Every structure is written in structure tokens, then in C-alpha cells.
Chain A
């Protein structure tokens, strides 16, 4: 008995000894490494200020015709970067009511003005989330010694959301012109004077185009092996071509695909992924299919300071694809109404509104829509959109009523159902689920409603999938399993009974079925 106690005591002493030694070694090492670190001398020169894309509003210099020293691209780029950073730190300052970062981009006397505004705002408990979406600077002057630059920034599009005590009280849109004097100090172009010479409320006016979607008979498309990861390493043009042949043989004429925001590289769009997207469009074109591109899949930030990055993302993609023959139109975002609860309806709507304006400014020729998750939300922003689209996973019987009520709200805007479908899953997680026959019945019934109302449609989806990423429906097995069985073709590649009703109430017998 006492022997085993002794052993325990020994063990404890030994263990605590090891622990103490470990701590001492760790402590000495920490002190040693602390004493061995210090500011790198190169940091004095600001040569290695890390460049992360955090603020990328549209910026268009007018042709250089400045007075003073001729401008070179190197200096112009430095001025542009620091000038935009000055805007960025100012937005951050007013959002947090602190002076962080201001010192780097404003001269001593200019800082004072920002400090004054911050002190008023912190007193009244006001917080301002702001961004600028477009700048059109003209360089007026560059001094002979390269230390002073003066520019006029025309038509700066500003957007602000104003909060008092955490409550959103106002949203402000302004279009302003600024005269800016910048001095080169400590390697930074700092704002010395900022004078807003013109400013007016701004209502973005994106004119809609008339678009008749009546002919659309489509389907949402992911390859069977790589759902929600279409542009990864397993991208296979041949598989896509075969699938598109199946789609086109089934007398469908369009597909809806998704561009995941982060996967495509956020503000710096990956050329490789973009190239794969072009290939998808090329294949679609060769099979006579039109493609509705849904942007911003899996995007959920919406914060005002992030807007310029999303706009850069969108304009890169749009400018690459807008002349493609297979392009049907742009779906700004898939089911953004699902983010209303977490991000706030006002914020999401404001982001969508600005994004519609941007998309239309980059590509005025193709129609723009938003793929709302239900008919009730689908009237939001409809005035700005070229056609209204929504997703329908409710009862077949209710569709007519939902559609009519939406139609009355959106007046003359054409309406398209861009997702609908039924899972044919019944199994351990849902013993009372629908069978493949139920699914076929469902599609048949839907098709008859579509033809009665001349309602264009895009179904969900071509294939049953074996893997669903957790980002789509979460990890719960009953949801995952349901999501796996929405296809017209099962995992073995066999057409389910519903395939008969993929594009009409009844497929002609001559089809592949």
C-alpha cells in the first residue's frame, strides 16, 4: 500500500520536474528569441508594406495632360494606390470611429479634419459604413521634384449606411467631385487638401432591356462527379459535352451554371477557372444551348467595405464573357433572400442593387435577374431587373396562385422559374419520401402548368449526386440524402421515369428514353 503511494509520489515529483524544466526551457527560449528579433531595417523605407487587395473601386484615369513634370506609370501607380488606400482607411476610421491608419495617408493638418468628424460621431454614437464604387481622376499637376501631385477626382460614386446606436437610420448615395492635393512624405502619398467642389444625391439609373424569355426550357447543370466543384482539377470537357448532348437531345435549350465567388479567386479572378468557364460556354454553344450564369455562389459577406472587391470580381468575369454567343444572361446571385436573416435585408438588397447597376454598366446587352429562393421575395428590385426569376420547391397545387400573385406585383416583367424539382429519395433518413414515380408525376404536373401559362423553366437538376459538399445543405444526413436525388438521371447513369417530363409533359418516344 505505502509502496504504491510512494510510487505515485515519485511519479508526481518526476512529472513536475519534467514540467518545470520544460517551462524553464520554453521561457528561456522565448526570451532568447525575443531578444533576437527587432524591426527589420528595410521597414524604415516602407518597401515591404504588404499588398493585399482590400479596396478596388473602379478607377479610370483620364488621359494624362498634366502641368509640371510629365507623369510616368510608376509614379502614377504609386499615387493611385496611396490615394485609394487613403479612402479605405477613412472608411475604416468612420466605421470604427478610430484614427487607425489615418496617419499614413493624411498629412498632419488633414488628419485634424478627420479627427473632428470622428469626435462628433463618437459623441452622437454614430457609425458610418461607407465605400466608393467609382473614381474618375484627372491628374492636374505633378511637381518637378516629384513631391506634389494635384488631381481632380470626378464623379466619385459614394455609398454610405449610417447607424445611430447600431440601428440603421439612413442610406445615402452621393456623386461628388473632389480636388485633391497630395504630398509625398516618408514614402507615402498623403492627402494634404481635400475639397469637395461638387456633390449631389445620386440615383443609379440602370435602364432595363426588353427580353422575352418565353423560349427558355432549361436545366440547372453540374457534372455528376463534381457537383458544386465544376471548375476544379477534375474538369472534363468531354463529360460536359456528353451531358450537353443529353440536354439538347431532351429538347432543352438552356442551362444555368454557377460561378463560386471564393473558388474563382474573389477580386483576382483565376484565369484558369475563367478559361474552364469559357470552355463550358464553348461546348454549350456547339450544342446550341444558352447559358444563364449565376454569379457570387457561396458569397455571404456583403459588408460595405467588401463591395469594391465583389464588383471587381464581377466586372472581370462579365468583360471576359459578355461577347460569348452562348451567353443567355446574368443571374446576380443564387437565393440572396436566404441571407436576409443573417446579414439584414437592407444590406443585401443594397448590395444587389449596386451589383445590378455594375453588371448593366459592364454589359448592357444581356438580361439580368436574381434567382430568388421563393416567389414571395421575387418582387424585390424587379424594376431594375430585365426578368424576374424564382425557385419553386413547394407543392405543385400552389404554383398557380404564387405565380399569379407575383405576376400582379411585377406587372410586365417576364417571369422564369430557374429552379424547381423533387427529390426521389426515400430511405432510412426519410422512410416516407417520394419515389421515382412520384418524381415523374411531379414533373409531369409541373410541365402542364408551364405549358398552360407559357412559363419558362429551368429544372433542378440533370443528375443524382453521390457527394454533396456541406456548404450546400449542411451536414445533416436527411438533407444531404434528399439533395442527392433531385436528378433526372440516377447515379448509375440510368434515366429515371421523370426524364420523360424533362422538357414537355411527355417526351416523344423517339427520344433516348
Chain B
């Protein structure tokens, strides 16, 4: 009986003690941080040790630049909180808070990036710039350590570039985790090669094209094999070598428009793109005496002076004969400046008028020096017609031609 009561009291005592320890309140507990270091380098093992009295039923909230985690302690004589490596790998401020049912204490740890460089991220743009020293390209460098943290500010980056005979190094220093350098163009065109270096680590090679600046005014010329208005040969317009103001030949493909104004004030346009600074464009000769005023433009940027060229009449006169009861009209021979039959394709227009109203207008092109018009009986019934024939700027009229 007495044994029984001893057992019972022992069991009760154990239960009571364990019950108390379970209920032990963090309010009556104390926690003192032992760890004194507050600055670490990324990748270091970081653990926070606390001396404690009372309950070990606590946890730690811990956040870095990217996110937050909860850490449970390893309980021994002290409470040891090991901060996970992926948290301490990132540079920046780590906030920690010791919590039970409420916040008990808090603090900060600073994680510095490693001092060794692992990667030099370099961005460059724009990839082509204009010659002349006002336009520039920008190089941005972000040196990072092997844990992908930007290195501490004031890390030196050397920006090297080569252009023609020039070779230059510039020292720049990081701020806010990056650094940048504006590389200005030179007066000549060409290709600039750029690279950057930091803490003996070199980036790859970048190239930037220095393209010619906007063109300056130029001159034009017109080439033709003769100056007769034969409606057959071609006049070629050609620019001088177009340059920018630093004497660089403009980029191939620069578009030049030639505006041609004839003696009636009508405008024709032809165009060409430059190759080696020269643009060419072509236009067919007129078929009658004519004067052209030609001016070339690179729209919005440059233009040429006006040049004038004159075309002499090639076909001085032609014959018109009627046959087959006037229903067949033969124009020709159409002869050019050496009395040669004009090459095929001269435009001849026959206008048929009856009682002052135009009945029809027929356009034909010459073949072997002649043009033939056949007036159909069904279309042009019996009566009087006025006929007008125009070719090479010459007009011939036949009034009151009767048809049966």
C-alpha cells in the first residue's frame, strides 16, 4: 500500500514537473545574443547563438533581399540558429527577429559581396553611332561575384577601346552596383572595338560601327549619248561623291531623288541609292524639243544645285498618206536627225473629231518608221471627219475628210 502511494506520488511528481516544463512561458525566459559579428561576406556560414534561460520553444524569422524564412534552433547549452546558405549567399541586409508568441528581440546582419570577381556583365548600345564626336555609345558594366552579387561600390572597371590608330583606356568606378562609360565617336567612320576589365577579369569584345554623319550638299551631272529628243535614248543622272561634313563618304544606300521640271512646268521624278557615295538615276529622252531643270535631294538633309539640259527636235517632219477610201492612214516615214528611220516606239496620236465633238483618240507606236491607222466602216460611218495627227511634238490636221 505504501509502495503504491510512493509510486503514485512519484508518477504525479514526474507529471507535474513535465507539465510545468511544457507550460513554461517565454515571458519568464531570457535570451541573450552571444554572436557579435554583424558583417559577413557572402557565402560565409552565419549562425546566431543565444544564451537562454527558460523555454527553448522559439524560432527565428530571417529575411534577405529576396525573401523570408523561418529557422528553428539547435538546442544545446545555447540556442543556435543557422541561417540557410541561400539566404547568406546574397549580399545586403539580413533582418532577423526572435519570436515565441511575440517578438523577443531583433537585429541586422550585413552581408558584403565577395571581393573576387567572377563575371563582368557588360551591355553596350546603341550598336552604331554617327561620326563627328557628338554621338556616343554607352557601355554598362556590372561586375559580380561568384554568387551573383554585384561587387561593392567603387570597384574599378577599365574600359578599353580601339579606333583606327587610337587606343584608349578609361578607369571608371562602380556606384549603385554598376558603372557606365559614354564612348564618343570620332570624325572618321569605322569600327570601334571595345572591351572592359575589372580586377583582372576581361569581358568579351564588342564592336560599334561609327557611321557617316548626315550628307552635305553635292553636285550632279547628266550624261547622254546625244542631245536629240528621240524618245528612245536614256539620260543618266549622276551625283558627285556625297560626303558628310567630316569628309566621310556617306553610307551606301543613301537615297537620292532627282526632280526634273520640264519647260511646261511638269514634274518627273527618278531616284537612286548611293554606292561609294555616288547615286545614279536614269530617264528616257523626250520625243520632242524640251528643256529639263534637274535638282537632286537627299530628303531633309542635303541637295544639289539645279542643272539645265536641252533636247533638240529629232523628227523635223513626217508624211501622212490616205488610202483605201481614206480608211487607211499611213504616217511616215518618221525620220530622225540623220534621216534614219526612228527606232520603234515613237508615240503617234490620231484624234478623230466629228461636228466639233471628239469621236475617238487612237494612240499607236511606230514600227519600222511607220504607223498605220485603219478606220473601220462600222465605227466611223459615212460623213465628214476632222483628223488630227500628233507625233514628236508636230501636229498635222486634215479637216473635212469625207468617208463613204
**B142–A193 touching, CB < 8 Å:** yes
**What are the residues of chain A within 8 A of B87 when measuring CB–CB?**
117, 120
10 A–B contact pairs at CB < 8 A? A90-B67, A113-B65, A117-B69, A128-B68, A170-B99, A174-B63, A176-B93, A193-B149, A193-B150, A201-B103
**What are the residues of chain A within 8 A of B72 when measuring CB–CB?**
124
**A195–B148 touching, CB < 8 Å:** no
**A193–B177 touching, CB < 8 Å:** yes
**A144–B61 touching, CB < 8 Å:** no
**A195–B65 touching, CB < 8 Å:** yes
Cβ proximity bits A65-92 to B, threshold 8 Å, 1 near / 0 not:
0011000000000000000000000100
**A140–B180 touching, CB < 8 Å:** no
User: For A110, A124, A162, A193, which residue has the most chain B Cβ atoms within 10 angstroms?
Assistant: A193
**A198: CB under 8 A from chain B?**
yes
**B70: CB under 8 A from chain A?**
yes
**B92–A197 touching, CB < 8 Å:** yes
**B176: CB under 8 A from chain A?**
yes
| In the complex, chain B residues 51-110 whose Cβ is within 8 Å of any chain A Cβ | 59, 61, 63-70, 72, 84, 86-87, 90-93, 95, 97, 99, 103, 106, 108
Minimum Cβ distance to chain A for residue B386 (Å): 63
Knowing A124-B69, A196-B64 are in contact, say whether A144-B182 is a contact too (CB < 8 A): yes
A194 to B140, CA, bound (A): 17
| In the complex, chain B residues 231-286 whose Cβ is within 8 Å of any chain A Cβ | none
**B370: CB under 8 A from chain A?**
no
Given contacts A68-B180, A150-B176, 20 further A-B contacts (CB under 8 A): A94-B68, A113-B65, A121-B67, A121-B70, A143-B180, A144-B138, A150-B177, A162-B61, A162-B68, A170-B61, A170-B99, A181-B142, A181-B150, A181-B177, A194-B65, A195-B91, A196-B64, A196-B65, A199-B63, A199-B93
**B180–A67 touching, CB < 8 Å:** yes
**B189: CB under 8 A from chain A?**
no
**A121–B69 touching, CB < 8 Å:** yes
Knowing A145-B125, A181-B178, A195-B177 are in contact, say whether A117-B66 is a contact too (CB < 8 A): yes
Knowing A117-B87, A120-B86, A150-B176 are in contact, say whether A145-B138 is a contact too (CB < 8 A): yes
A196 to B90, CA, bound (A): 10
A160 to B176, CA, bound (A): 27
**What are the residues of chain A within 8 A of B136 when measuring CB–CB?**
144
**A164: CB under 8 A from chain B?**
yes
Shortest beta-carbon contacts, A-B, top 9: A145-B125, A117-B67, A116-B86, A144-B138, A196-B92, A196-B65, A113-B66, A199-B93, A195-B92
Minimum Cβ distance to chain B for residue A401 (Å): 31
- Partner of A179 from the list B64, B90, B177 (CB cut-off 8 Å) is B177
**A186: CB under 8 A from chain B?**
no
**A141: CB under 8 A from chain B?**
yes
**B383: CB under 8 A from chain A?**
no
**B176–A144 touching, CB < 8 Å:** no
Knowing A152-B176, A193-B142, A195-B65 are in contact, say whether A170-B97 is a contact too (CB < 8 A): yes
Q: Which residue of chain A has its CB nearest to the CB of B98?
A: A170
**A126–B123 touching, CB < 8 Å:** no
Range of interface residues on A (Cβ < 8 Å): 35 or more
**A164–B70 touching, CB < 8 Å:** yes
**What are the residues of chain A within 8 A of B99 when measuring CB–CB?**
169-170
**What are the residues of chain A within 8 A of B68 when measuring CB–CB?**
94, 117, 128, 130, 160, 162, 172
**A196–B93 touching, CB < 8 Å:** yes
| In the complex, chain B residues 345-361 whose Cβ is within 8 Å of any chain A Cβ | none
**B303: CB under 8 A from chain A?**
no
A179 to B176, CA, bound (A): 7
A140 to B177, CA, bound (A): 11
**B137: CB under 8 A from chain A?**
yes
**A200–B95 touching, CB < 8 Å:** yes
Knowing A148-B140, A193-B150 are in contact, say whether A120-B69 is a contact too (CB < 8 A): yes
Q: Which residue of chain A has its CB nearest to the CB of B84?
A: A120
- Partner of B70 from the list A113, A126, A198 (CB cut-off 8 Å) is A126
Minimum Cβ distance to chain A for residue B305 (Å): 38
A141 to B64, CA, bound (A): 24
**B133: CB under 8 A from chain A?**
no
**A350: CB under 8 A from chain B?**
no
**What are the residues of chain A within 8 A of B61 when measuring CB–CB?**
162, 170, 172
**What are the residues of chain B within 8 A of A404 when measuring CB–CB?**
none
Knowing A145-B138, A169-B99 are in contact, say whether A199-B69 is a contact too (CB < 8 A): no
**A114: CB under 8 A from chain B?**
yes
**A114–B66 touching, CB < 8 Å:** yes
A113 to B149, CA, bound (A): 11
Q: Which residue of chain A has its CB nearest to the CB of B135?
A: A144
**A148–B123 touching, CB < 8 Å:** yes
**A7: CB under 8 A from chain B?**
no
**A147–B70 touching, CB < 8 Å:** no
A148 to B123, CA, bound (A): 9
A162 to B63, CA, bound (A): 12
**A307: CB under 8 A from chain B?**
no
Knowing A113-B90, A181-B178 are in contact, say whether A147-B125 is a contact too (CB < 8 A): yes
Knowing A120-B86, A174-B95, A181-B150 are in contact, say whether A194-B70 is a contact too (CB < 8 A): no
Q: Which residue of chain A has its CB nearest to the CB of B67?
A: A117
**What are the residues of chain B within 8 A of A181 when measuring CB–CB?**
142, 150, 176-178
Q: Which residue of chain B has its CB nearest to the CB of A128?
A: B68
Q: Which residue of chain B has its CB nearest to the CB of A195?
A: B92
A109 to B66, CA, bound (A): 12
A443 to B8, CA, bound (A): 65
- Partner of B95 from the list A120, A121, A201 (CB cut-off 8 Å) is A201
Cβ proximity bits A280-312 to B, threshold 8 Å, 1 near / 0 not:
000000000000000000000000000000000
Minimum Cβ distance to chain B for residue A86 (Å): 11
Q: Which residue of chain B has its CB nearest to the CB of A111?
A: B66
Cβ proximity bits A166-196 to B, threshold 8 Å, 1 near / 0 not:
0001101010101101000000000011111
Cβ proximity bits B114-153 to A, threshold 8 Å, 1 near / 0 not:
0000000001011000000000111010100000111000
